Amino acid sequence: MPYCKICGSGTVVVYLPYAKMSLCQNCFLEFYVKRVKKTVEEYKMFREDDVVGVAVSGGKDSSALLHSLRKAFPKLELKALHINLGIPEYSEHCESKVKLLAKSLDTELITYDIRERLGFTVEDFMETRFRRKICSICGTIKRHIFEEMALEAKVRVLATGHNLDDMVSVMLNTFFNGHWSQLIRIKPILPPLADGMAYKVKPLIRSLEKENLLYCMYSEVPIRSLGCPHSNQTGIRKYMQLLEKLSEEDPGFKYIILNRFLELIPIIENAVPKPTLTQCKVCGFPSTNEICSYCKRTSLVKQKEDNY
Ligand SMILES: [Zn+2]
Ligand SMILES: [Zn+2]
């Protein structure tokens, strides 16, 4: 019968194999929040007098992020930023969870409804040649809109809920495919693309996906119970499965990969020529091409709307 390694209580709810620690509910929650705080401080992600935007989707990762940042930095000004993607049933469900969470934390919530603002939804891409790439399109759209929202909300920093599993599988994916410039983009803290834009930070890089879910359960954080109908991560899944196998052998394996990559990224950054950024002719955002990928993709569905 294990006892909590921190307080000695007999009601253990979780075992963290990489740290050889059994923990009770309270000690797990404290351990989780402390790790988020330490990660923020270690990478100097923000100061306590900053205004920090948190990209929240209604899923476990971003919800755990918003909640734990509130606990770790009680005085920090947080703004929850949410995008309603217009996916039938799913998007309404997500938005309702985000509203509950923001309310429970007494945090300002700003929602960007893409149907209202742009006149199309992510769903509309199902009728384009990008039908099979809808997840990557959705990613491009979200990245662009969050930059826009950060500008509008005047936040200096934008925090996202990328977890350890995401980080490590993307690291392996970019590494095996030699996508060096993408590898550089997954640093824990990224400077603004242009003056006035936000820093992007990832305070959950040391938190496992499973731990984010447990954190939400034990802190009674409202999260979505529906999955996205379009979700399909075949490319990344391959590395996720590989990582699970390797982690069975060595529970600390994901942390080892993360740490080695974090050492490697600055070296690669110095060796790889920096892409020259120009301004997108349509939206004015920094881009490596004349027209950024967001404007290229969205013009497909905008054209369709215009033809009605
Ligand atoms: Zn305990
Ligand atoms: Zn553009």
Q: Is residue 26 part of a domain?
A: no
Q: Which domain holds residue 227?
A: 33-306
- pTM of the prediction? 0.94
Q: What is the pLDDT of residue 1?
A: 67
Q: Rounded to the nearest whole angstrom, what is the distance from the C-alpha of residue 16 to the centroid of ligand 1? A: 13
Q: Is residue 201 part of a domain?
A: yes
Is pLDDT larger for residue 12 or for residue 182?
12
Domain count, the chain: 1
Least confident of 15-24, 137-146, 225-234, 279-288: 225-234
Q: Is residue 131 part of a domain?
A: yes
Q: Rounded to the nearest whole angstrom, what is the distance from the C-alpha of residue 4 to the centroid of ligand 1? A: 5
Q: Rounded to the nearest whole angstrom, what is the distance from the C-alpha of residue 294 to the centroid of ligand 2? A: 6
Q: Is residue 276 part of a domain?
A: yes
| Tokens 């509203």 found at | 99
pLDDT score of 127 more than 80: yes
Q: Rounded to the nearest whole angstrom, what is the distance from the C-alpha of residue 174 to the centroid of ligand 2? A: 24
Tens digits of residue pLDDT in 208-240: 999 999 999 999 999 999 998 888 766 667 778
Tens digits of residue pLDDT in 2-58: 899 999 998 999 999 999 999 999 999 999 999 999 999 999 999 999 999 999 999
| Residue 102 belongs to domain with CATH number | 3.40.50.620
Q: Rounded to the nearest whole angstrom, what is the distance from the C-alpha of residue 288 to the centroid of ligand 2? A: 10
Integer Cα distance of 58 and 305 in angstroms: 29
Mean pLDDT of 150-158: 96
Ligand nearest to the CA of 31: 1
Q: What is the pLDDT of residue 130?
A: 82
Q: Is the dihedral of CA 137, 143, 149, 151 positive or negative?
A: negative
Ligand nearest to the CA of 13: 1
Q: Rounded to the nearest whole angstrom, what is the distance from the C-alpha of residue 146 to the centroid of ligand 2? A: 14
Q: Is residue 22 part of a domain?
A: no
Q: What is the pLDDT of residue 234?
A: 62
Q: Rounded to the nearest whole angstrom, what is the distance from the C-alpha of residue 28 to the centroid of ligand 1? A: 7
Q: Is residue 138 part of a domain?
A: yes
Q: Is residue 170 part of a domain?
A: yes
